Structure 1
Amino acid sequence: MANFSLKITHHRCTVNNTLISKETFSILKELAQNNNKEWFEKNKPIFKQHEAHVKSFFASLQERMNLHDDIEKMKMFRIYRDVRFSKDKTPYKTHFAGSFSRLGSRLRGGYYLQLKPGGSFAATGFWGPEKEDLFRIRKELEMDATDFRKVINEKSFKQIWGDLIGEEVKSAPKGFDKEHPNIDLIKKKQFIFVRHFSDSEVHSKDFIGEVDKSFKAIRPYFDLMSDILTTNLNGESLLD
């Protein structure tokens, strides 16, 4: 263990805040193999350098996203795990992650990016719609899912984001017909899209642009969902 942790002191962070270096993934790999307070405290200074660099990367990504969307804030998640109610008592996460919130009540949906050796991905959509929002989405899909299906099945959209995923009820939500032709959509509790990235893709100079392009491609979906969630079934605005 001692020799293993010594080599980490030789890692250096790249000054280019649009790149994720192999060294950043190396320290995450070492953390995964030494997930304890003693190792972390010994290597905390160099870890914090990499953490700060990733935060700068997220900030650079936010700047790009603001050219095609209105991002209210970027949040980078803490490395410390909440282990109070978990069987897994390892104290640290083994990835970096950040979220990007859209501005105002008219713009719905959110963005997420995780950086992890062998497990990097971008995600977007609606993770946990509030009860009222979920009901509104379901009623829209019950009435007519034509526009929804057109957006999520568009060829260039699917090439980037693939299929809609998310948790769903087993049969049908209360008050909805389990035989409805759109029940495959109505029974969903989450409306999420995920794109996975290999380590080589993450370390490439084009990675930040590829993530930004992916997030930009989700806009037709966000525009449709924002319209649904800010109007009633008659298409009348719910906003002041």
Structure 2
Amino acid sequence: MKTTFEFLNQLTKNNNREWFQSNRAKYEDSYNEMILFADQLIEEMNKHDVIETSVGKKSLFRIYRDVRFSKDKAPYKTHWAGTLRRAGANRRGGYYFKISNEESFAMGGFFGPNAQDLLHFRNQIALDADPLRNVIESNDFKNDFGELLGEKLKTAPKGFDKTHPDIDLLRHKQYIIRHDFTLKQVHDPNFPEIMSEAFRKMRPFLDCMTEMITTDLNGIPLV
């Protein structure tokens, strides 16, 4: 990651089109390094999951920022990020990663469930939150991910009692978990394996949420 971090460090100090164009070769070197990283990550991920994203290049987000509706008019992102899609109707949830000089982490879960899926999650949780609580309150989960993240409503969702004992889970609009990496880990030659292992540890959470979204309230499969 040396090439990428050197490029991102310089870009942070010179976030303008003139510098970028005159240093485009540095961008290309970093981009190619990140493609290689993502290719290796996908290879590792397929040892314990089935990833629909076929090649690393397809996983990466563009470095160009959409500044149309932003007060910050800096034209380029100062990080690399990407997503990996899980393959198959019975493999729900997705993976996201970010690499930068400030922070590098892996995230997994349900980043933007549609209204129907979100209601289904809430109905399942309202009926029986124990499977999810058993995961997120385990010592392994707390050690690896801390707590359940994601945007929440300020109050109870429509149709749910604000005094429900699991209202903290019902208020979620997203169900996301995150694992942060040290700089030492990021610079390790085996970082694709290190990140893949963090994603692998997300499986109890993803499997629990997948069970919810792929079965009805009686536990009968929907897919």
Give the TM bin, normalised by the shorter chain: over 0.9
| 1:118/1:199 contact within 8 Å kept | no
* Offset, 1:46: 2.1
Secondary structure of 1:167's match?
coil
% same residue: 45
- What does residue range 11-160 of structure 1 map to in structure 2 within 5 Å? 20-21=1-2, 23-73=3-53, 74-160=58-144
1:142 aligned partner, one-letter code: A
Could you state the TM-score of these two structures normalised by the residue count of structure 1? 0.88
Of 166, 169, 173, the residue aligned with 2:157 is 173
2:191 aligned partner, one-letter code: F
2:177 aligned partner, one-letter code: F
Secondary structure of 1:112's match?
strand
Say how many residue pairs are matched.
219
* Offset, 1:210: 1.9
| 2:148/2:177 contact within 8 Å kept | yes
Secondary structure of 1:105's match?
coil
* Offset, 1:123: 0.8
Secondary structure of 2:23's match?
helix
* Offset, 1:200: 2.5
Structure 1: distance between partners of 2:158 and 2:82:
35
2:198 aligned partner, one-letter code: S
Structure 2: distance between partners of 1:201 and 1:236:
42
Query: Which digits, 9 at most, give the CA deviation of each residue in 1:154-189, with x for residues without a partner?
Result: 222221111101111111000000000000100111
* Offset, 1:221: 1.2
Structure with higher Rg: it is: 1
In structure 1, runs of 5+ residues without a counterpart are: 1-19
In structure 2, runs of 5+ residues without a counterpart are: none
Partner of 2:176: 192
Could you state the TM-score of these two structures normalised by the residue count of structure 2? 0.95
2:159 aligned partner, one-letter code: G
| 1:137/1:228 contact within 8 Å kept | yes
Structure 2: distance between partners of 1:218 and 1:133:
20
